[in-house]
Amino acid sequence: MNRKVLIALLAVAMAFVFAGCGSSGTDEAGTDDSAASAEKTEVLVFAAASMQSSLEELEASFEEANPDIDIVLNCDSSGTLMEQIKEGAPCDVFFSAAQKQMDELEGEGLVVDGTRTNVLNNQLVVITYPDSGTAVTGLENLKDAKSIALADGSVPVGKYTRQALMNLGILEEAEDPAAITTQEVSEALGGVEISEQGNVSKVLTAVQEGSCEVGTVYLSDTYGHEKDVEILETVPYDVTGDIIYPIAQIVNQDADEAETEAAAAVLAYFTDDNAKALYDTHLFDTNVK
């Protein structure tokens, strides 16, 4: 083992030892903090990256009302999360940014029967950074960009962008828009430079920082970033199709009865009217058919 790595690991280990020796592990009331923490039931929630800010707010309010339950959020591309679940990663609740990933899990018997529901719709937007001076006004003239941040096809926002470009006649028809490579998109746009990103949050960051002139994200992703990005176009549903977000409880072989029941409670909380009111403020569309 590299000597520097070994020293670092030993330092971390010693820090834990001293931390344990320096504290009795009880608060002023004599409560054992570690025991209290151990009594909490963890609920593992896998959610699309575009859901992170909304779910962090719901997580805080849920845990305040249910101090015996700890929600653990794992937010990333829906495609990445689906693969993790299929490979056996423990998960209790999955909140996807597209139907495709939930369909695959359901087809493999990994969705708890009767728990799946469509909660949200969203809209694709073309964004740039303030005062970029871009010639781009939307998808129709995306080829005029100097550089584009685009999620890959396995990411729902990348798939919906490809679908929209197909519907506009910019990309050739394909049976599965997600299978269209980033290189093929670049070629269809006249060779424009495209920076491929692994999830929608990374697309947003690339544009915010000015690494790319324009990018495609969801309308909800612009919430709280109104000073950092400018929306050039909000793409109509008839171009992208509906962008439905389904949620469901996932079959978790590692979960005990308490965790399974807590997961059902979290699922109910994430889909009730109060949650939908929050999603509305975060620019999601809760008017789902």
Q: Supply the pLDDT for residue 58.
A: 98
Q: Which CATH number do you get for residue 185?
A: 3.40.190.10
Burial of 145 (0-12, 13-18, 19+ CB in 10 A): buried
Neighbouring residues of 58: CB distance < 8 A, sequence distance ≥ 6:
269, 270, 275, 278
Both 129 and 212 in a single domain? yes
Q: Are 250 and 93 in contact (CB under 8 A)?
A: yes
pLDDT at 172 over 50: yes
DSSP symbols for 198-244: SSHHHHHHHHHTTSSSEEEEEGGGGTT-TTT-EEEEE--HHHH--EE
Whether residue 7 is predicted with pLDDT greater than 50 in this model: the reply is no
For residue 158, the surrounding DSSP H or E stretch is helix 156-167
Same domain, 207 and 146: yes
Is there a single domain that holds both residue 72 and residue 112? Answer: yes
Domain assignment of residue 24, yes or no: no
Instruction: Give the residue-averaged pLDDT of 258-280.
Output: 97
Question: Same domain, yes or no, for 117 and 131?
Answer: no
Same domain, 227 and 250: no
Give pTM, 2 decimals: 0.80
Domain interval for residue 160: 124-235
User: Which of 198, 200, 185, 199 has its CA nearest to residue 145?
Assistant: 185
CA distances, 51 to each of 77, 101, 104, 122, 174 (Å): 10, 15, 20, 11, 29
What proportion of the chain, given as a percentage, has pLDDT over 70?
87
**Residue appearing with tokens 């919430």:** 223
Phi and psi at residue 166, to the nearest 5°: -65, -45
Other residues' Cβ atoms within 10 Å of the Cβ of residue 52: 18
* Token digits of residue 197: 């990103």
Number of compact structural domains in the chain = 2
Q: Write the burial class of residue 209 (CB in 10 Å: 0-12 exposed, 13-18 middle, 19+ buried).
A: exposed
Query: Tell me, what's the pLDDT at 23?
Result: 38
